[in-house]
Structure 1
Amino acid sequence: MKSESKNQHVGKVTHHELKQTLGTWQLWGIAVGLVISGEYFGWSYGWASAGTLGFVVTAIFIAAMYTTFIFSFTELTTSIPHAGGPFAYARHAFGPTGGYLAGAATLVEFVFAPPAIALAIGAYLHVQFPGLEPKHAAMGAYLVFMALNIVGVQIAAAFELCVTLLAIFELLVFMGVVSPGFQWSNFTKGGWAGADSFSMGSFHGMFAAIPFAIWFFLAIEGVAMAAEEARNPKRSIPIAYVAGILTLVVLAIGVMVFAGAAGDWTKLSNINDPLPQAMKYIVGEHSGWMHMLVWLGLFGLVASFHGIILGYSRQIFALARAGYLPEWLSKVHPRFKTPHRAIIAGGVVGIAAIYSDELIQFGGQTLTANIVTMSVFGAIVMYIISMLSLFKLRRTEPNMERPFRAPLFPVFPAFALVAAVICLATMVYFNFLVAIVFAIFLALGYVYFLMTRHQREAAPADALLEE
């Protein structure tokens, strides 16, 4: 199978080129913006199973996994600055089949994350406009930000940086406003899966909460998919990644602790807008601070939503360019030089997910929780394959140019790999139905992969992967 990639035809690449315009600050904005919605919602579902204190333990473990993963992943991103990101690394290391597995997993992650964020946008707007149906608002968000991504990556990245800075400012405002009511006893009451002391049930709850701790950091790796559009990826991407993960760890801890200490945290779990509800404990329902939080809170959701649209479109574009998806999805807009067809295709899937309650709401979980879990399954599988790719390329291509090398190798990538395997096993145990659906997606995709070998052989040569 690996020989497939060596037989590709050379030359027809002009309609597949992306424009190199992104600088370090814009990449940092994408790194943080991709993830920052995870500080606004999603994580509080973890309180329902683990409690506040149990979830802190889970979140610290996941933060360690992401920190070691990002330091290791950055080596791959700078060595192979490719729009396909993990797909490109796995293909380089393990051939077409490895590329398929990483690409399909990444696609699930980035196509299923936006509907969850869009539903949260709808929930926030519904607070201000009770007559507005959240799902219709979610669809409207798709249409607006798909259009913005099509107009151009420079405009999209500048917008992403602005809304990310506003979102960070808003989170700091939230912590400042609720701080007068901060009581550690609120946070610790029933903090071990609803109990005041640790038990085996607490241990069980901490593992069950893993997907929602991952939601704090999910999609930061999407910066890799903007690598072909960076002016100097070998310098700017490491700075963006390291600064990004540090920013997110600090914000995640702050938001979680301040929200839980504001009042009765049990009323904040299993909802899409925990921060406005937490602020109600301090300032009341009709305070101007409440309205400001709702409006500014949208910036965080929009930053992630908009950034992940950029991420999924580049993944679809790269897979189509390499012949893993229909070739017409790899066309870029003749004027804007953006993968407009890939942007629209991912949006269609996301909008369908928003309106698929009966199909996605199962296993006793809410629609949002199942979409989040599906996205996390894709991410964890991709993390495992990426770390395996790093180890494989270190062994088989020791002379590859590596502008950034994973620190404390092999400890950092090994920890990230083992932690990801633990997360995957735990998630399968606690979310078996979602795992089955995820496996069906991969199996159907693999059938398509086997049936379209000729498509990959006819794809344009890719110098980054053919070395």
Structure 2
Amino acid sequence: MSSPTTINTLKPTLGPIQLWGIAVGLVISGEYFGWSYGWGVAGTLGFLVTTLMVATMYSCFIFSYTELTTAIPHAGGPFAFSRRAFGEFGGMIAGMATLIEFVFAPPAIALAIGAYLNVQYPTLNPQLAAIGAYAIFMTLNILGVKLAAMFELLVTSLAVIELLIFMGVVAPGFSMANFVANGWAGSHEFTGHAMSGIFAAIPFAIWFFLAIEGAAMAAEETRDPRRTIPRAYISGIITLVILAFGVMMMAGGVGDWRTLSDINDPLPRAMRMVVGEDSRWMHMLVWIGLFGLVASFHGIILGYSRQFFALARAGYLPRGLARLSRFQTPHRAILAGGVIGIAAILSDGHFDLQGMSLTAAMITMAVFGAIVMYVMSMLSLFRLRRVEPDLERWYRAPGYPVVPLVALLMALVCLVAMLWFNPTIALLFVGLMLLGGLYFLLTKTQRRDAEDTIAMTP
């Protein structure tokens, strides 16, 4: 049997500012691309309604989820919460859903990195650039979590500054008339089609905030998680809500927003409408804009590797994925997620995904995983409040039980809407969950013999 230092031990090295960098960095690419696909199905006004709904859900969710992360600081995050609340099967559902979320989000971000580079170098193949991004940032993650977190904080800070600069530069060209024109799913009036578009756009509004919960997977590597995690999460969700609405409003009001929907680089295109093709601001946005994509891409690699690690350590996946490198990072888990992501990138154009681009399909798949995980996390909060009232909770969800109940009900509404509008992706998601369930059923002995302690006491 391997010693704990090679299998189970992650070192606590992260402080509140670094964790804020991870929490915001995991998400911030969502402000740069992906969300504008929502305009294509809902229009600017319809998508604004969708985003208001989703922002409310996420705010309620984060204030509730923080209670779980401080009470049970574990690399598995939602997997650990659900396993403690509902046993091994509950842990499997939450763990597999979280893994799907974090494995399928990076290919979409990598393709956006390729699209941004293609703006500067039209002869560069975006797929090759995306694969190159995997190689670079998997390597950086393998070299150590402290180095990875310092890099994440740097690029996240630059990305936030750059989004503020974008809003300032395009502000003179903003017109509310442009934003509201054809704003209800391509129509001037609110209709039944517009209502349908509001719900169909849910995955792309969630993309504004997707993966902020992943900072919980760095809980074992955080100093004083009971105090650090609330500070990072609350400041993180405030940062993201402000940026999401600011970017969406400003980009939509500078010209014909329909030319910015269904593309991977809406911000450079929006700025081009205001400052022209050859402006220094334009080149600045393309280059510094890459920092936002890199921050999320790099951060989510950290997130999926910790989820692979936690599931393998507990016997839910092959034990070899829990092996740590000499840098005390789960290198095999990092590589495993990279193999899946690169395979997804190479599959572009080979499958019919409901007429979606690969980027939109990967976003939708990741959101399915996220929504299931959100439901399981809120159910875990309610159950642990009931069955473990004496669990040490350094942070308690404000407005309990109303606030977590709002998060739970809105997550269920989102899940039903996504099942209705995305049946093909839903079937693929269910298929992956069933594969995880089959492995679960066949590996009872492996789980029993696992070394994982699951942080049953915080």
Q: Same fold (TM over 0.5)?
A: yes
Residues 193-342 of structure 1: pairs in structure 2 closer than 5 A? 193-334=185-326, 336-342=327-333
- Letter matched to residue 440 of structure 1: G
Q: In the alignment, what sits opposite 2:455?
A: 464
Distance 2:370 2:271 in 1: 32
Secondary structure at the aligned position of 1:357 is classed as coil
Deviation at 1:286, TM superposition (A): 1.7
Distance 1:29 1:360 in 2: 36
Q: In the alignment, what sits opposite 2:64?
A: 72
Q: In the alignment, what sits opposite 2:93?
A: 101
Distance 1:301 1:236 in 2: 25
Closer, same or farther: CA 33–407 of 1 in aligned 2, 3 Å: same
Q: Does 1:28 align with 2:10?
A: no
Q: Does 1:388 align with 2:379?
A: yes
Q: Is the 8 A contact 1:360 1:371 kept in 2?
A: no
- Letter matched to residue 147 of structure 1: T
Deviation at 1:465, TM superposition (A): 2.6
Q: Does 1:356 align with 2:358?
A: no
Of the three residues 415, 423, 427, the one matched with 2:414 is: 423
Distance 1:303 1:85 in 2: 20
Closer, same or farther: CA 455–358 of 1 in aligned 2, 3 Å: farther
Q: Does 1:448 align with 2:449?
A: no
Q: Does 1:48 align with 2:37?
A: no
Deviation at 1:14, TM superposition (A): 2.6
Q: Does 1:86 align with 2:78?
A: yes
Deviation at 1:360, TM superposition (A): 5.0
Residues 367-382 of structure 1: pairs in structure 2 closer than 5 A? 367-382=358-373
Distance 2:29 2:352 in 1: 22
Residues 144-163 of structure 1: pairs in structure 2 closer than 5 A? 144-163=136-155
For residues 196-240 of structure 1, give each alpha carbon's deviation from its aligned partner in whole angstroms, at most 9, with x where no partner exists: 121111101000000000000000000000000001100000000
Q: Is the 8 A contact 1:187 1:265 kept in 2?
A: yes
Of the three residues 109, 116, 122, the one matched with 1:124 is: 116
Distance 1:221 1:463 in 2: 18
Q: Is the 8 A contact 1:77 1:224 kept in 2?
A: yes
- Letter matched to residue 201 of structure 1: H
Secondary structure at the aligned position of 2:73 is classed as coil
- Letter matched to residue 376 of structure 1: V
- Letter matched to residue 407 of structure 1: P
Q: In the alignment, what sits opposite 1:4?
A: none
Deviation at 1:180, TM superposition (A): 1.1
Question: Unaligned regions of 5+ residues in structure 1, if any?
Answer: 1-8
Q: Does 1:135 align with 2:127?
A: yes
- Letter matched to residue 345 of structure 2: I
Deviation at 1:374, TM superposition (A): 0.2
For residues 376-425 of structure 1, give each alpha carbon's deviation from its aligned partner in whole angstroms, at most 9, with x where no partner exists: 00000000000000000000000000010000000011000000000000
Q: Is the 8 A contact 2:217 2:306 kept in 1?
A: yes
For residues 13-35 of structure 1, give each alpha carbon's deviation from its aligned partner in whole angstroms, at most 9, with x where no partner exists: 33221111000000000010000
Closer, same or farther: CA 445–463 of 1 in aligned 2, 3 Å: closer
- Letter matched to residue 236 of structure 1: T
Closer, same or farther: CA 360–39 of 1 in aligned 2, 3 Å: farther
What is the count of residue pairs matched by the alignment? 457
Closer, same or farther: CA 218–461 of 1 in aligned 2, 3 Å: closer
- Letter matched to residue 415 of structure 1: V
Distance 2:210 2:153 in 1: 18
Distance 1:120 1:383 in 2: 26
Deviation at 1:112, TM superposition (A): 0.2
For residues 303-327 of structure 1, give each alpha carbon's deviation from its aligned partner in whole angstroms, at most 9, with x where no partner exists: 0000000000000000000000010
Q: Is the 8 A contact 1:110 1:311 kept in 2?
A: yes
Q: Is the 8 A contact 1:192 1:198 kept in 2?
A: yes
Q: In the alignment, what sits opposite 1:438?
A: 429
Q: Once the two structures are aligned, what percentage of the paired residues are identical?
A: 65
Deviation at 1:358, TM superposition (A): 4.3
- Letter matched to residue 204 of structure 2: F
- Letter matched to residue 103 of structure 1: G
Of the three residues 171, 174, 181, the one matched with 1:179 is: 171
Question: Unaligned regions of 5+ residues in structure 2, if any?
Answer: none
- Letter matched to residue 115 of structure 2: A
Closer, same or farther: CA 251–461 of 1 in aligned 2, 3 Å: closer
Closer, same or farther: CA 276–361 of 1 in aligned 2, 3 Å: farther
Q: Is the 8 A contact 1:44 1:212 kept in 2?
A: yes
Distance 1:365 1:183 in 2: 30
Secondary structure at the aligned position of 1:197 is classed as coil
**Alpha carbon RMSD of aligned pairs, Å?**
1.2
Q: Is the 8 A contact 2:13 2:223 kept in 1?
A: yes
Q: Does 1:408 align with 2:406?
A: no
Q: In the alignment, what sits opposite 1:3?
A: none
Taking structure 2 as the reference length, the TM-score comes to 0.98
- Letter matched to residue 454 of structure 1: T
Deviation at 1:12, TM superposition (A): 4.8
Q: Is the 8 A contact 1:54 1:191 kept in 2?
A: yes
Distance 1:105 1:340 in 2: 21
Q: Is the 8 A contact 2:72 2:457 kept in 1?
A: no
Deviation at 1:361, TM superposition (A): 4.3
Q: Is the 8 A contact 2:50 2:198 kept in 1?
A: yes
